Amino acid sequence: MSDNKVQDHSDDTALLQASIDDCARRGGGRLELAGRTYQIGPIELRSKVYLVLAPDTVLQATADKTRFERAFIGWPFHAREALISAYKISDSGILGTGRIDGQGALWWEEARRQRRDGTMASMFPALPDANGMPRPWLVEFYDSRNITIDGPTLQNSPMWTLALRYASQVRIGHLTIRNPKEAPNTDGIDVVASQNVSIHNVDIATGDDNITIKSGLAGFGVPTQAASDIHVTDAKFGSGHGFSIGSETLNGVNHVTLERVSFEGTTNGIRIKTGRDRGADISAIHVKDITMNNVDTALSITAYYPKFPAQRGEPLAVTATTPRVHDIRIEGLVAIGSNTAGIFVGLPESPLRDVVLSKVRIQAAKGLMLRDAEVQADRLDLQIQNGKALDQQEEGKLNKL
């Protein structure tokens, strides 16, 4: 492997892409960027090439929106759908403590307007409105393996910030993500149908899910693959919607661990969200050693999306897309200043099973709600200000271990 330097130019897209391609032809190496701001349009990484950002380096997206393609979870990879993308590569990544800036404000108002006036449905009739208007992502790795991201700050993403789709053997560490809390659909890290992913020492404040695990929607021509073996440790979440699994879980999510994570002012803490049109097996989820401060809803596991009904309905036939949520363990969690302690709502035809709360202490205005859910509790301490600590609705059961 060799070290390469990028020289100083005012228009950097072609130069940077040529440097990446040349580094790959030479057998790969570390492509080091000098400490300045690089104005770029979409670029693609190559196998065995590591982009290294010096501390005072900024890769800033061009203001020319026509140079980008729009991205959506159900669409296959298209060139230019992220500022930095990677397609079918290996042994590559982004290193160093510089910044990547997507100039997302150029896109956010359009997305807000589409949501306000409902015109997204006419522009993209096949897409769920809840997913938001398709926009470019900031960084994407698609069908790639042995990827390392360590050190950089990702900020002001048009939509998702770091998308891992059908990736494997991914290591993410010492990553900072900053998007305004009002920036729509700006998930921090989206792990989509990817496997063997390790995320550690990340600091994420954003406008949507801080980290979310997904595996796809029905009706789109992309690979069918579960998200599995995903481990998040030693993370810090500021503004955002918390740690989520879903809502797009068509191909299943399993063997996920979340350990030693702090939440400060997020909308949700731990959230599993799925639905009858997008579910599968969601299991072997282990959450441990969590602290939450001023999180609106500490725990939320629901088999309805985007909202669960006010009243329990009749059971429907079980289909290939019926969610099956089971074997969830949450232990060593302390939440202070929450509005709602927890919501556990399964389907009449597919209740939540084998959910265990162990050594959980929550101070909240409202207590736990259970419907079509079996929850086991060991050393559960609920300190509730208003109303009862436990609302067991139809087929909601809380059993002490």
Beta strands 99-101 and 268-273 are unpaired
Q: Are the C-beta atoms of 135 and 155 separated by less than 8 Å? A: no
DSSP state of 315: -
d(CA 180, CA 19): 32
d(CA 106, CA 123): 19
Structure tokens at 70: 């729009």
Burial (CB count <10 Å: 0-12, 13-18, 19+), residue 305: buried
d(CA 3, CA 14): 19
Strand (E) or helix (H) holding 15: helix 13-25
Which is catalytic among the residues 241, 281, 296, 326? 241
Question: Would residue 78 show up in a list of annotated catalytic residues for this protein?
Answer: no
Q: What residues contact residue 279 under an 8 Å CB cut-off, 6+ apart?
A: 249, 250, 303, 321, 322, 323, 324
Question: Would residue 200 show up in a list of annotated catalytic residues for this protein?
Answer: no
Structure tokens at 98: 């510089």
Amino acid letter at 34? A
Q: Are the C-beta atoms of 153 and 188 separated by less than 8 Å? A: no
Residue 283 CB-half CA count within 13 A = 9
Structure tokens at 246: 């879903």
d(CA 195, CA 231): 10
The residue with tokens 């992502």 is 137
Amino acid letter at 257? T
150 alpha carbon, distance to own chain's centre = 17
Which is catalytic among the residues 101, 208, 281, 372? 208
Going by C-alpha positions, the residue among 321, 391, 312, 318 that lies closest to residue 346 is: 312
| Strand, coil or helix: 37 | strand
Going by C-alpha positions, the residue among 71, 266, 282 that lies closest to residue 163 is: 71
- Which residues are designated catalytic? 208, 241
